[in-house]
Every structure is written in structure tokens, then in C-alpha cells.
Amino acid sequence: MAGRLRRWADEITRDVYAIYLARRDPRVPWYAKALAVCVAAYAVSPIDLIPDFIPVLGYLDELVLLPLGILLVVRMIPVEVMAEHRARAATALERPAGKAAAAVIVAIWAVLAAVAAWAILCWSKPSG
């Protein structure tokens, strides 16, 4: 069963990347592109509709909403186009992931944390 879940997770990951690639393909209808951008952005976003720290409910969006969104987008994209982008995604995912994107995301969060700390310190000073 663990192998089957791992295979399903790998397919979801591949389809998310394939949807991301398909969003620029002129053969994909505009409404599928719009939904594809939303689903791909939600899949890679660290922000969830339901925070993960809430027991059980926190993981429902990943377990239910994301696969449903992916399924809906896949059905909107022509079969031959989706097959082409799945093949490209599978090839791209075989390569090791770059650390540059992770560094950029960490840097963005660090800057946001510094700005928030600065704002809190400035606003907490007594006036007078």
C-alpha cells in the first residue's frame, strides 16, 4: 500500500508540473489556463486555506481540494497536449532540484519577518 501511495503522490507531483507547463501552451483553452495557474500556485504555495496545525482539517485541502483541482484542470486540457506536458514534466522531475529557488523563498520570508519586526518595534514605542 505504501508503494501505491508513493506512486500516486509522484503522479500528482508530475501532473502539477505538467499543468504549470501547459499554462503557456496555445492549444490549451484560456479557462483551463486560468484554473491551471490557480491550482499550480496553490500546490506550491506555503499558505493553505486551512492551516496544517489544525488537527485532521489542516490536511483536508491537500488530500481533497488539490487532487480535485488537478483532476478538473487535466480534464479541461486536450488529451494529447496533457500527454506531451506530462512527458516533459517527468523528464524535468528526474533532475535534481535546484537550491536557488529555496534560497529565494527563504530570503523573501526573512525580509518579511524583518519588516514585521521593525513595524512592531516602531509601533510599540511610546509617543511623547
Where in the sequence is the domain holding 8, given as residue range(s)? 2-98
Instruction: Evaluate whether residue 63 is within a structural domain.
Output: yes
- Asked if 37 and 25 count as a contact pair (C-beta separation under 8 A), the reply is no
Count the Cβ atoms, other than its own, within 10 Å of residue 41. 11
- Average pLDDT rounded to a whole number, residues 11-36: 88
Instruction: Evaluate whether residue 6 is within a structural domain.
Output: yes
Q: Which residue has the cell 479541461?
A: 76
Kindly tell me if the per-residue pLDDT of 25 is higher than 60: yes
| pLDDT at 97 (0 to 100) | 64
Instruction: Evaluate whether residue 114 is within a structural domain.
Output: no
Instruction: Evaluate whether residue 105 is within a structural domain.
Output: no
Instruction: Evaluate whether residue 16 is within a structural domain.
Output: yes
Instruction: Evaluate whether residue 127 is within a structural domain.
Output: no
| pLDDT at 128 (0 to 100) | 54
How many domains are contained in the chain? Answer: 1
